Structure 1
Amino acid sequence: MDDRQFRNAMGKFATGVTVIATETDGQVHGMTANAFMSVSLDPKLIVISVKEDAKMLDRIKESNHFSVNVLSCEQQEESMIFAGQKQPEEEFQFDYLEGVPVVRNALVQLSCEVYNEHVEGDHTLFVGRVTEMELKDGDPLIFNCGKYRELKEMESVSN
């Protein structure tokens, strides 16, 4: 199988869209990612996956903190900005949670400290210990087969 075929297969799995953010030397950096999952309730741990050649890799290692921001269905533009697909019209403004930059109005904002890291293939998996969380109501932004999507309720099936 070739790389494109594998990537297409993985794209069939619908995911939420997050922005990972950190701050180094007074500069905030963000990156769109869909490789995110929860791992443990006790302690509260999550995992993100960052490609080895991504600038964010060294920035997270330097700061030892990062945020995970689950985007709402109204935040496609933010996803595109941090994926490098769109230039912001003005400087992007972050909020802060426990001293870590977070995306304003995200459905979920998680402030994390690096708990562990593992190099696997061409990515580093950062295990983050969640130190604080903010939660808002709303529907998530979904990504599937290379396109942004929104949730839609289905009619229940009766037996």
Structure 2
Amino acid sequence: MNERLFRQAMGKFATGVTVVATKVGGKVHGMTANAFMSVSLNPTLVVVSIAEKAQMLEYMKKSKQFSVNILSAEQKELSMIFAGQLKENREVSFDQLGGVPVLPGAIAQVVCEVTAAHVEGDHTLFIGKVKELQVNEHRGDPLIYYSGQYRSLAE
């Protein structure tokens, strides 16, 4: 399989943009992710996919809890910070929901407890049981990622 062609094909699937966050040793760690989806309504489960080479992998294994913050169109800079696209060090503040760090201003914040982790290829899939969530309808449109670029919803 041609890896470049595979990445190009997968880039044609428009996704929302999230920041996955956790806390280990009193320090918050986060990463931008679009490999996120709901799995089950009963029980309420979601999955996030973390690359084996990502620093976040060990934090997720240690903390066994995480938040998924669905970003608004106005939060592109936060996505870039947690994707390592902005090199200058920027301070990011977090709120807490259910004792887990969440990003203020996110369209939705989903707090989970890890119930399973499955290594598949070069990623680990973390299944999270939803413990808390908050939806902020008034935050506007979601941040979209398509074909390697940030996008916005069109009316």
Tell whether 2:28 aligns with 1:32: no
Q: How does 1:147-158 map to 2 (within 5 A)?
A: 147-153=149-155
Q: Name the CA distance, whole Å, in 1 between partners of 2:29 and 2:88.
A: 14
Report the counterpart of residue 57 of structure 2 in structure 1: 57
Q: Counterparts in 2 of 1:9-88, with a 5 A limit?
A: 9-87=9-87
**Offset, 1:88:** 5.8
Amino acid aligned to 2:64: N
Aligned mates of 1:32, 1:17 — CA distance in 2? 7
The whole-number CA distance in structure 1 between the counterparts of 2:89 and 2:123 is: 31
Query: Aligned equivalents of 2:50 and 2:89: distance in 1?
Result: 27
CA deviation digits over 1:1-39, x for unaligned, max 9? 421111011000000000000000011001000000001
Q: Take 1:38 and 1:106, find their aligned partners in 2: how far apart are those partners?
A: 17
Superposition map of 1:113-152 within 5 A? 113-137=113-137, 138-152=140-154
CA distance in 1, matches of 2:136, 2:88: 24
Contact 2:81 2:90 in 1 (8 A): no
Question: Are 2:22 and 2:65, in contact at CA under 8 Å, matched by a contact in 1?
Answer: yes
How many Å apart are 1:87 and its aligned residue? Answer: 4.1
Query: Residues 89, 58 of structure 1: CA spacing in aligned structure 2 closer, same or farther, 3 A cutoff?
Result: closer
Q: C-alpha distance in 2, partners of 1:141/1:73? A: 4
User: Which TM-score applies when normalising by structure 1?
Assistant: 0.93
Please tell me the residue identity of whatever aligns with 1:66: F
Shift of 1:53: 1.0
1:132 partner SS: strand
Q: Which has the larger radius of gyration?
A: 1
> What is the Cα deviation at residue 111 of structure 1?
0.7
Task: After TM superposition, give the deviation of residue 150 of structure 1 in Å.
Answer: 0.6
How many Å apart are 1:117 and its aligned residue?
Answer: 1.0
The superposition leaves residues 125-150 of structure 1 with CA deviations (integer Å, 9 ceiling, x where unpaired) of 00000100010122100000000001
**TM-score (normalizing by structure 2):** 0.96
CA distance in structure 1 between the aligned counterparts of 2:82 and 2:42, rounded to whole angstroms: 31
Residues in 2 aligned to 1:90 and 1:112: alpha-carbon distance in whole angstroms: 26
Long gaps (5+) in structure 1: 154-159
The 4+ residue runs of structure 1 with deviation greater than 2 A are 87-90
Where do 5+ consecutive residues of structure 2 fail to align?
A: none
The residue number in structure 2 matching 1:156 is none
Deviation of residue 152 (structure 1)? 1.1
Give the fraction of aligned pairs with identical amino acids, expressed as a percent: 61
**Secondary structure at 1:74 match in 2:** helix
